[in-house]
A and B are shown apart, each in its own frame.
Chain A
Amino acid sequence: MSTPGLSTRLRHLAHWAMALCLAVMSMAVFVNVVLRYGFGDGLPASEELSRLLFVWMVFIGAAAAYPAGEHMAFTSLVGLLRGRALALMTVLIRLLVLLACTLLGAGAWQQVVVGLDSRSVVLAYPVALLPLPALLCAVCIGLCALVELLRRTPLDLGHGAEVE
């Protein structure tokens, strides 16, 4: 926002990170199948690594999807509103988003602190790496909602992403 294009660059960064996570996840699981069927062997780290990357990919993606208006929401009813009622509802929705993110952020922060002292079984990564993406995601979405609230951005009533 301070520099033009910062949000674009952040979005590109998020996309690269997601693509990387998905590519490594796929390889980890696929190589494990090949090793097991072909050689009766396996990658002990395959499951743990792919799950961790999956969690990161989802929360990075969820954070990126918020400003893009791609999250699932049932907007048929609010779409009927006009004028002051719509404005009021817009403020209410953003306050609720902010509330949810504050609760999640606070909880995730405590879990990150707690997880610093534990390690995963196979890879021995610090367990804090699991709640960390949730913390970052809650902070990102919360900040976006705050900015929208202050700027009074109109509510996005599109269908969002096409997801079943």
Chain B
Amino acid sequence: MSSEGQAFIVFCVGMLALMGIGLNMALALVLTGAGMAWVLDFWDTQLLAQNLVAGVDSFALLAVPFFILAGELMNGGGISRRIIDMAQAWVGHIRGGLGYVAIGAAVMMAAMSGSALADTAALATILLPMMRQQGYPLGTSAGLVASGGIIAPIIPPSMPFVIYGVTTNTSISALFVSGIVPGLIMGAGLIVAWQLVLRDLDLKASQPLPLCERLRATVKAFWALLMPLIIIGGMKSGVFTPTEAAVVAAVYALVIAVFVHREMKLADLHGVLVRAGKTTAVVMFLCAGAQVASYMITLADLPGVLTGWLGPLVESPKLLMAVMMLVLVLIGTALDLTPTILIFAPVMLPIAVKAGIDPVYFGLMFVLNGAIGLITPPVGTVLNVVAGVGRLPLHQVIKGVNPFLVTYTLILALFVLFPQIVTAPVVWLR
């Protein structure tokens, strides 16, 4: 057997066996890479260490800690709360209004934050107690909040797009643009799904707030609403690059939190920095380990090997896309978004490109699919967050998320059948 074939076997066995037994994922990737290096006749421990560092040593990846930092500051400094308050003032009185509040706030916050977890945590912390108090069914509410939270990585800015762009060498700004319309469609899909769910619920409409109250809530949210304008406007007009947008978001959120809203003190900054640093380190250590494996994946030309096996499938882009999406859905049940990107994007993208699929479209679909994986059982980190914040048993949230999961799956299928929905707006918006 060729050394490439052996390397492929080592890769599969390494991934399944080492990760399956619960070894630290980053180190499982390192050992898989080491095994592949051995069979490829590329053995040298220096290469393992070098690539571990190289996986982190990238300017674009700095966006990751900056986005996490921005998310912490938004939640700690009252920015997220003001957005939710405003949505509440406008649509809270409608029957099932808190659901619409959750969806609207999720879409707005998605335009400021790059991380599903930060958004979900903020939405869940503020909205779930209100929903509980007004007699909303808790599982469904929690499911809706979780589903809203995963819009964050689709509408720019987005941390997973940054990681995807760096891993596969795809333009991060093009990926950002590609997410705008699909993100809005996700929001619209949730509204429809929520309406359908509402029919079976016993909820009352309440008195709308007087206009002055609504305007007051809007004015209070002024600085928060300015944030997406600054981030997206600044990127479009060339004040800063996508990577730098993340640090601008963090600095803006800090200034608003400390000096305008005065909900944080500079002394709180240490804790915020440490939390952001810890989260970053865990994500990036995985990036580091993945680089060791992906260095060897490239050397063994695994995508080339796989393309050979897929044969006729490569001739039909839509069918190939459907198959790959199905594989990703399965992967997404067990693996979170970041590891999915780091391990599978470098293998799958070259196959897609060979079949003539647009790399930016593929990136959007990949991240969208992976983001949906955050709310599929058994392993769904966003589900865990909602369950944790709402103090609900996980199975109740899993049940509640179902209608929205179906909606998202339909949207995903729609994008497979009609890629133009994704690709056409990219051309207009750039």
Contact = CB atoms under 8 A, between A and B. Distances in A.
A57 to B, nearest CB: 6
A125 to B, nearest CB: 13
A65 B282 contact: yes
B115 interface: yes
B21 interface: yes
Interface stretch (B44-52, B74-82, B198-206): B44-52
Contacts of B382: 164
B378 A76 contact: yes
A71 B21 CA distance: 15
A103 B48 contact: yes
B22 A73 contact: yes
Contact of A164 (B27, B115, B239, B247): B115
- Chain A interface helix/strand/loop/mixed: helix
Contact of A155 (B22, B274, B286, B339): B22
B213 to A, nearest CB: 36
Contacts of B285: 58-59, 61-62, 65, 71
A47 B270 CA distance: 23
A92 to B, nearest CB: 7
Contact of A47 (B23, B50, B59, B117): B59
Contact of A21 (B116, B243, B277, B286): B277
A135 B283 CA distance: 19
B277 A22 contact: yes
B58 A51 contact: yes
B62 A51 contact: yes
Nearest to A108: B49
A65 B278 contact: yes
A114 B62 CA distance: 26
Contact of B22 (A37, A60, A74, A133): A74
Contacts of B374: 164
B34 A50 contact: no
B131 interface: no
A162 B59 CA distance: 24
Contact of A25 (B19, B65, B269, B282): B65
Given A62-B282, A103-B45, A107-B50, A26 B247 contact: yes
Interface in B115-132: 115-117
Nearest to B388: A162
A74 B270 CA distance: 31
Interface in A45-66: 47, 50-51, 54-55, 57-62, 64-66
B24 interface: yes
B45 A54 contact: no
Contacts of A50: 59, 62
Nearest to B274: A15
B170 to A, nearest CB: 19
B335 to A, nearest CB: 7
B102 interface: no
Interface stretch (A1-9, A93-101, A146-154): A93-101
- Chain B interface helix/strand/loop/mixed: helix
A100 B281 contact: no
Contact of A89 (B22, B66, B250): B22
A72 B277 contact: no
B115 A51 contact: no
A18 interface: yes
Contact of B334 (A18, A76, A107): A76
Nearest to A97: B27
A161 interface: yes
B22 A78 contact: yes
B26 interface: yes
B258 interface: no
B315 interface: no
A75 interface: yes
A76 B49 CA distance: 29
A19 B279 CA distance: 12
A139 interface: no
Given A103-B34, A131-B50, A30 B21 contact: no
Given A26-B247, A33-B247, A58 B23 contact: no
B416 interface: no
B25 interface: yes
A164 B56 contact: no
A26 B69 contact: yes
Given A26-B247, A74-B20, A164-B159, 12 more contacts: A26-B250, A30-B244, A50-B62, A54-B62, A58-B285, A61-B282, A71-B25, A72-B339, A111-B50, A131-B49, A133-B53, A164-B116
19 contacts: A19-B277, A22-B276, A22-B280, A25-B62, A47-B59, A54-B65, A57-B65, A57-B277, A61-B277, A65-B281, A72-B286, A73-B24, A74-B22, A89-B22, A96-B27, A104-B52, A108-B49, A134-B288, A155-B22
Closest 6 CB pairs of A and B: A61-B281, A107-B49, A107-B45, A18-B277, A78-B22, A19-B273
